Structure 1
Amino acid sequence: MSRAMLAAPLLVLQGCSSGILDPAGPVAAGNKTVLVNALIIMLGIVVPTILATLAFAWWFRAGNARAKFRPDFTYSGKIELLVWSVPALVIIFLAGLTWTSSHALAPEKPLESRVRPVTVQVIALDWKWLFIYPEQGIATVNRLVVPVGTPINFRITSGTVMNSFFVPQLGSQIYAMSGMDSKLHLQADRPGRYRGLSAHYSGEHFADMTFFVDAVPPAAFQRWAASARGQGPVLDGPTFLRLAEADSLAQPVTFRAVMPRLYDRIVANGGAPVRETAKSGRESKH
């Protein structure tokens, strides 16, 4: 057996360990529960069907003289009841599970917590992610720092084509669309670095449109925010325009200040790059 064949199961397990099967927050944990419960419900019909197929093939084999051949058989009420009732029950259970989980894990539903949430504005650009912290007055590219145990209220839009914001270990994905202001509430329950990605095809380099989420203790988050305000460039109009128009992947960078209401302008203008959005922070006049 080749080394590649031996390593394949390990690669599969490694992928699961850093994805949706290794949740690091309450929303991701709820998503995992829904996935496992749905799998168990569907196995309730899949496994008996496989076993029945094997049993029928064995019983009606050519060498079994006790098996009765009935070429004129057309209908059995008992068989019809069995064939239709079991799938119907499975669909009912899945529908109930979907209904309750859709309301409990709705992206726009705030997380219950005594800790004050942190707001992060997310802007999908070509092959990069821009994160704005309006309360801290800073911004980052392709790196998201969040405090552990604190709800994160995301506002998500796109400055270009439609994209999808997804951090598998933290929870639900949601689409980032031009002119839309989508809501998503997530939380990290333990420190660590988690991979974020674009889960929707958006062009040539979308597979490399990844970012990292660093979940740190609250005190470390405050220190990081204070340090970020003391160094790095300013995300003003011209800088944003260059960032938005750059058709290339971007390395992580931190901005010590952000043009006022940049996120709202992008949403109002139906995306970016829009020169009126980036003209020194002034609104366009039409």
Structure 2
Amino acid sequence: MQRIGLAAAAAVLTAGCNRGIFDPIGPVASAEKQILINSTAIMLAIIIPTMIATVAFAWWFRRGNRKATYLPDWEYSGAVEMVVWGIPILTVMLLGGIAWIGSHDLDPGRPLKSNVPPLKVEVVSLDWKWLFIYPDQGIATVNQLVIPAGTPVSYRLTSATVWNTFWVPQMGSMIYTMPRMTTRLNLQADRQGSFKGLSGHFSGDGFPGMEFQVQSLPPDQFAMWAQGARGQGGALDGRSYAELSKPSSYVKPITYGTVAPGLYDAIVANRAPMLHLPQATTPDPPSAVPAAG
């Protein structure tokens, strides 16, 4: 009964654990997990025999073992040199090959192979929140990234303040966001669900609250969400962006139904607050014109 109780307690404690990169939801994270497993296996091929040999040598050449041969004039052994140098060289070659192939296959800016056109998302890191702009849908969100499952997502990323990093562990490929620069990233979620996104680079007092949720929906539900988002929320123009860019942490998700054209490019160029959405305005009364004398 005691063993059953302990097993049940362990199951309860581990049931809610997030396995992160060990529970990939897309092709990039799956490939990174495989690289991690392969690299660990290759390194264990040296570590385990070395640990065993250390114990074995210490036991065999102990003072009380009269069977151990003592060779005070021993200087060189070709077989030993071959093992000592050959195995590390092979290990470095294997690890280097894995890193070389993986760095090319998983290039963040390389589009993912798919028959489905990618979704475009523009990402801006702020103090201390995340802004996601959907240029084709004309909407934006804060601290909530909604994507269609099974569809590649092409990201353009920048920072409006300091350096930061965009990271969804279960999707893979952490990448930097930098002011006045754009980085590119291509990811995909193969299944539906809610996943945690975060910043992996310390950026000040509000850093602990700089997290967001990734909602992976079926494509038809994503289309419905995007259509509904256009009818709710305010307009993300220069004035509202200037308000949004003020430092704040643990910000609840926000949805904007309209976005100023070219907002992302203006943020990269450091002129975003000057933008405004085209809208109907009441014309100012004509100013008095002095009569000609």
TM over 0.5: yes
Partner residue in 1 for 2:79: 78
CA distance in 1, matches of 2:39, 2:160: 36
Shift of 1:11: 6.1
Partner residue in 1 for 2:272: 277
CA distance in 2, matches of 1:128, 1:96: 38
Partner residue in 2 for 1:155: 156
CA distance in 2, matches of 1:198, 1:180: 18
Q: Is the 8 A contact 1:116 1:151 kept in 2?
A: yes
Q: Is the 8 A contact 2:241 2:272 kept in 1?
A: no
Q: Does 2:90 correspond to 1:89?
A: yes
Relative to 1, partners in 2 of residues 1:238 and 1:181: Cα closer, same or farther, differing over 3 Å? Answer: same
Q: Is the 8 A contact 2:239 2:276 kept in 1?
A: no
Residue aligned with 2:274, SS: coil
Moved more, 69-78 or 150-159: 69-78
Alignment of 1:20-39 (within 5 A): 20-39=21-40
Q: Does 2:199 correspond to 1:227?
A: no
Q: Does 2:126 correspond to 1:131?
A: no
Shift of 1:54: 1.2
Shift of 1:10: 7.6
Residue aligned with 1:103, SS: helix
Alignment of 1:56-71 (within 5 A): 56-71=57-72
- Matched AA of 1:32: K
Moved more, 72-81 or 229-238: 72-81
Shift of 1:263: 0.6
Moved more, 103-112 or 62-71: 62-71
Partner residue in 1 for 2:184: 183
The Cα RMSD (Å) is 2.2
CA distance in 2, matches of 1:247, 1:7: 39
Partner residue in 2 for 1:113: 114
TM-score normalised by L of structure 2: 0.87
Partner residue in 1 for 2:43: 42
Partner residue in 1 for 2:145: 144
Q: Does 2:243 correspond to 1:242?
A: yes
Partner residue in 1 for 2:198: 197
Shift of 1:137: 0.4
Relative to 1, partners in 2 of residues 1:62 and 1:12: Cα closer, same or farther, differing over 3 Å? Answer: farther
- Matched AA of 1:242: E
Q: Is the 8 A contact 2:148 2:218 kept in 1?
A: yes
Q: Percent identity?
A: 51
Relative to 1, partners in 2 of residues 1:68 and 1:91: Cα closer, same or farther, differing over 3 Å? Answer: same
CA distance in 2, matches of 1:180, 1:34: 29
CA distance in 2, matches of 1:16, 1:74: 54
- Matched AA of 1:61: R
CA distance in 2, matches of 1:73, 1:264: 71
TM-score normalised by L of structure 1: 0.89
Aligned residues: 273
CA distance in 1, matches of 2:273, 2:250: 21
Which runs of 5 or more residues in structure 2 are unaligned?
1-7, 278-293
CA distance in 2, matches of 1:61, 1:27: 51
Q: Does 2:250 correspond to 1:255?
A: no
CA distance in 1, matches of 2:79, 2:13: 47
Which runs of 5 or more residues in structure 1 are unaligned?
1-5, 270-275
